[in-house]
Every structure is written in C-alpha cells, then in structure tokens.
Amino acid sequence: MRATFHLKTLAVAIATISVASMTNAAGLDRSGQDVTAFFQDGTYAEAVYTYIDADVSGKDSANNVPSSNTYVEGGDTGDIAEAYDFFRYGVKTDINDTFSIGILYDEPFGAAAEYTGDSNFVSKGDQNASIQQLTNGQFNGATLGPTIDALKDQAAAEPDAEVRAGIVQQITNLSTVGAIAQAEAGNAGENTNVEVRSQSLTGLLGMKFGANKNFQVYGGPVAQRIQADTKLRGLAYGPATGYTSTSNPDMDYGYIAGVSFSKPEIALKAALTYRSEIDHDIQISETYPLAGLRALGAGASPAQAEAAANRSSDYEITTPKSVNFDFQTGINPTTLATAKVRWVPWSDFVITPPLYNAVSISSGLYGDDGLDLVEYEDDQWQVELGLAKRVAPALAISGTVGWDSGAGDPTTSLGPVDGYYSVGLGAKYNVTKNWAVSAGGKYLWFGDAQGALPTDKIVADFQDNDGYIAGVKLSYQAQ
C-alpha cells in the first residue's frame, strides 16, 4: 500500500523552500528553521539555495522635529530591501529501524536593508538646513547659537527655580538641535543601512517507538553564530544620526526537541518541533556622535569627548525560541496535501546596545531603562498550505498559499513590513532512482507598515510592496 503513494515523486518541492527574509517574514526570521529533511525515509541528503528579492519602498516623514511624533508625508525612500540569498543543507540516515541521526545547516535570522537617494535616512551635511528642519523653521545656523547664549544669561539671572528649570530645558533642546546638525554634517552623503547574518548547525538523534514504529522522539544540540552591523544616518533618526555599531561574530548553543508521527500507508507525516532560545554574549563597538558633542559642550577635552562617543563593550542578544508544526498526508495515490505552521515570540526579542542605551538614559526622557535599538510588538504566526500532484512517474508539481502575521505595526524603520500573503509554484523531477532536482518560486504581497524609532516617533510609511523568492534543491535518497 505504501508504494501506491509514490512518496518520492509526491515530495513537495516548494514546501522545502521555506519562506524567508526580514522583508517577507516577521522580525529577523529568514529560513523558517525547516527540519523536514530529518523525517525523510532511509538515507537522505539535500542542498537548497534560496534567492530573495523584494521591493520595500515608501515615504519618509517631513517632520524632523525631535520633540514631535506627528507623521507628515515626505519624499520617497526608494527601495530599501537589498537582494539576499542563503543556503540550507541537511543529511540524515537510519542506524537501524529504531534510531536515526542527522545534521542540518541553515541561516535562520538576518536582515539586509539600505536607504539611498534623497530621503531623510541619508545624511545631507547642510548644518543650516538641518537646523531649520529640526526647529520647523524657527532657527537657522546664524540664530541658533546667539539664542542659546541669551537663554543661558537669562537662566543665570532668573530667581524663580521653576522658571529657571524651564529655560534650562529650552537650552538643552536647542543644544541638542545644534549637536544633531553637527553630527549630520560629519556623516554627509552616508546612508542608513543594517546587515544581520546568522548560521546554525543542528545535530539530531531520533528514536522510533510504538508497535509499528509510528512514533518518534528526536532532539539534539544547536550551535548558532550571529553578527550584525548598523548605521543610522539622516535627520529621521534625530539625536541618533551618525550612530554606528559593529557586533563581532559570536557562537553560542541551544537545543532542539520534538515528536513526530507517521502512517506510511497513507503518506501521513506530522511533526511538532521546539527550538530553544540562544543567549549570545557579543562584543560590540559603537560610535555615537551626540555623546561626544554633549561632552564637549559640558567642558570635556577633545580626547575625553572622543572617548565618550566611542565604546567597546559586551552585551547580550537572545535569539527567540520557536515552534514548528509540519504535516503531510496523501489524498489519493498521486496527490499529497501539506501544511506548515510556525510560531516565534518576537515580542520578547530586543537589541539593546550599551552606548546607545546609555545615551538615551542620560537624556532623562526614557526612564531608568532607556531605549532598545530594536524591538517588536507582536509574536509571529506563519501558515503555509500546499498541494502536490504526481503528473508523470518522475515528475511532481506543487502549489502553495501562505500567510505571515508580521510582528506588529508600527515596526522598526530597519524592517518596515507587517507580514505578507504568498502564492507559490514548484516542481520536482527524479533524475535517477536516487537523485532529484526541485525548483520553485513564491510571489509575496507585503502588509503595509509604518517605520518607527524606539522613541515611538513615526518616520516613514510603507505601502503596496511586494517581492519574490526563487529556489532550487538537489536531493539524494536511498531507502
């Protein structure tokens, strides 16, 4: 009965090319952390290449006043999503009819975005124009300094403590405007961009049990490496313009565990997989021009100001846990149905670089905890349904529909997409008894989202965006 279903030719090509990229999945999710290679029969190996190209463009905000969070439609941002590709590999074999082992490699988390052109996410370098934008035309390069000096004299002569405090706050606000304009000028022509890369190696040991060996428990260690680079440029980032950070690569460890059930006579396989959080202790180098300019304004020497603006330290990033559910069943001898569900609690994930956070705390505006550089409001839910049809002894075709909930709107300006809907097509051709080639693609409609700063200021609006994914897989199977 099992052979009737022709499992090798029913395998769904597109379902093995997981939905990916920060521009079409929630948070930093890319590969979907697929483990279905481990559930293949006999000895199995695969190599998968995936290419993602997305158009994520919108409008920046014409309101660059740091104290105002009101969004005012500005100019075009251009396409901020960079094309991205990655590989996934997997191999497994059965030791006997009870135990199986496998190794999987993927690139689970990442981001690749860059703002170019003439938007407020690119440093212009004109201090006079910057001051005018930052003060809504109230001051310019010629009037800002004298105004600050006059306010200082006024504060010194003011006997009323409450009134004096108000004047001091005005001085602080205008001094910040001057520092922002100076930091902006110091990075003229530079673009905002972010790149996050990760690699993961998973070892698996499975044990089958039950009268017919239908059940399996599996698990093992996970080694994960992650690194990141961030540049914030342009008046959109206010006091943070000019901020730069480089996080050195870090390797740390977690685990995977799951349970599966199979019923070969109807080609049914179901698996529930849990991946743990992984804590990374990362060395980071940060540059924050505003911190140095503030130090200079407070009387620090140039050397002291440079030290205030640059810091190397350690901090922690915890990549999120996840749960994947994979399901397939034969509908008839030539047709297979599939379903994938994925949950990732991105609402628990934050990136909090030490210098960035310390500057936000010193402002006195954001409490004792200060600001995170990246955070998300919601958890991710991802669903994909598919059908595969054997149309010839060595050929199967497949189609999928998918949905991703996103991780909240507004979201970070470094990844302004709120989920997606997708459709996909794929095919698998058995070149020989053991070797097969699969290929497929997906088209995605992205959810509209507003890009926000950690201060909750809306700095951009992204609508009507789309993208595509293309992939190819080479697989070997011997039963």
Query: φ, ψ for residue 392 (rounded to 5)?
Result: -155, 165
| Entry pTM | 0.89
Q: Taken in order 281, 286, 291, 295, is the CA torsion positive or negative? A: positive
Cis bond before residue 410 (omega within 30° of 0): yes
Structure confidence at residue 168 (pLDDT):
86
Residues 250-300: tens digit of each pLDDT? 999 999 999 999 998 888 999 999 999 999 999 999 999 988 888 887 888
Structure confidence at residue 18 (pLDDT):
38
Residues 439-467: tens digit of each pLDDT? 989 999 999 999 998 888 999 999 999 99
Token pair recorded at residue 304: 């002291």
φ/ψ bin of 143: left (φ > 0), alpha (ψ from -120 to 50), beta (otherwise): alpha
Structure confidence at residue 73 (pLDDT):
92
Would you tell me how many other CB atoms lie within 10 Å of the CB of residue 107?
20
Domains for the chain: give ranges and CATH numbers. 2-112+195-289+315-478 (2.40.160.60)
Structure confidence at residue 25 (pLDDT):
59
Residues 6+ apart with CB under 8 A from 381: 341, 342, 343, 404, 405
For residues 71 and 449, is the Cβ–Cβ distance under 8 A? no
Strand 193-209 to 84-94 pairing: unpaired
Q: Splitting the chain (479 residues) into consecutive groups of 10 residues, what average pLDDT does each group show?
A: 44 38 60 90 92 91 88 91 88 96 94 89 89 88 89 88 87 86 88 93 96 95 96 92 94 97 91 97 94 84 89 94 94 90 93 93 83 90 91 89 88 87 90 91 92 90 92 90
Q: How far is CA 91 from the centre of its chain?
A: 27
Sequence letter at residue 42: G
